[in-house]
Amino acid sequence: MREYLLTLFVTAAVTYLLTGPVRKFAIAAGAMPPIRDRDVHREPTPRLGGIAMFGGLCAGLLTAAHLSNLGDVFKLSSEPRALLSGAGLIWLLGVLDDKWGVDALIKLGVQMIAAGVMVLQGLTILWLPVPGIGTVALTPIQSTLLTVALVVITINAVNFVDGLDGLAAGMVCIASIAFFMYSYRMWYGYGVEAAAPATLFSAILIGMCLGFLPHNIHPARIFMGDSGSMLIGLVLSSGAISITGQVDPDAITDFTGSTRETVHFMVPVYMPLLLPLTMIAIPAADLVLAVVRRTWKGQSPFAADRGHLHHRLLEIGHSHARAVWIMYFWAALIAFAAVAFSVNSSSLWIVLVIVALSTIGLVALLLPAFTPHAPRWAESVVPPRYRRRRRRLAAAAAAAELEMRSADRPALNGATAVGDRAPLPERRPDRRRPVDSRR
């Protein structure tokens, strides 16, 4: 665990320290597009935050390669090299798109190429644990198509949800924490050595998001852009591919006792292939809804609009910060619920807690006019925006004092009511001698 934490902190520190210089570079390079109709920010904000995140990724992989235990991952597996190759292609595409703009079909093609590069280097889905059947081996064509589809869907799901300050980085960070908990349990709890790369990828991804978030929370000083959103989407999909299609279920059978129990144990990781990840179910659902909505209107599935989930939260009355926290809540609920079910799927308490938290989330979702405020005894220690009662009293007192001063002021030049303008003095005709223009 210490080596994973060290890798995480190095990745976060490098990402955080690089983001400031990258912001200055983005401003100097002109990577500050004008505000569009679908944007929610009010001032032009530089992009290219993915440059700092890619630097954090490289720093994390370099640190892990020189550690005693994590260094074995690079010796026994080609997945870190495959991840770096695919991430490099995606990152370069995102940088070009943030600066000059790239056609949607070209981006889709490069995403598929990056996924294909990772498949060629060994990062692919070899088999699937199907409930009630067992382990199903995939042919090379099936493996390639499923891996490419999962990478592309995850990249675009994260890209679509990147619409509010700190939203994409926070949601991916939550998903990565949940995924790290699951893969770490697989690696050290069940002794499955093939889960080590997925655990490493999750730790690095947590560091990338944590290092970038301080610069990206509302009001954001820099955006990650496509160079960042596509990058973290690819890293997240790489961890899912590694732990789903590389871990042999037979290695867990010795601990679970039977193949059927092993298959059911692997279900929480298998199910994410449907949407494609339980860990990012909300971005994936937003992606599906966006494609259906735009296709129904006769538009391109890649055409931008203001119909995403975060846009709808703003339209029904939620503030920017509250909309982000609501999305965080539902992402955490779904992600950690999947991890909890993987630990003990027969516990009634888990179901009751999920139902209770879902009820709380629905109440928060349906009360956009509610503004939390602290009690009067705690107003001195909370931020000013939570001191609503004191602000109202001060504003009412100021308005009453202003009205009293206006009423006590004597009328000027016949003005009889407060606010009446005094009559202007009558203008006298100009009796000056006209100037002869012929002089």
- Asked whether residue 321 is domain-assigned, the answer is no
Tokens of 29: 């390079």
Q: What percent of the chain lies above the pLDDT cut of 90? A: 26
Domain holding 209, by residue range, is 2-287
Q: pTM of the predicted model, to two decimals?
A: 0.74
- Asked whether residue 368 is domain-assigned, the answer is no
Looking at per-residue pLDDT, the higher value among 341 and 308 belongs to 341
State in Å, rounded, how far the first CA of the chain is from the last one: 99
Question: Model confidence at 15, in pLDDT bands (50, 70, 90)?
Answer: very high
What integer is the mean pLDDT of 430-438? 49
Domain count, the chain: 1
- Asked whether residue 7 is domain-assigned, the answer is yes
- Asked whether residue 375 is domain-assigned, the answer is no
- Asked whether residue 308 is domain-assigned, the answer is no
pLDDT higher than 90, residue 19:
yes
Q: Rounded to whole angstroms, how far apart are CA atoms 34 and 391?
A: 36
The amino acid sitting at 79 is E
- Asked whether residue 328 is domain-assigned, the answer is no
- Asked whether residue 300 is domain-assigned, the answer is no
Q: 3-class DSSP state for residue 97?
A: helix
Using alpha carbons, list the distances in angstroms from residue 50 to 15, 39, 106, 228, 232: 9, 19, 19, 4, 9
- Asked whether residue 433 is domain-assigned, the answer is no
Give pLDDT tens digits for 105-155. 899 999 999 999 999 998 888 877 665 566 677 888 988 998 999 899 889
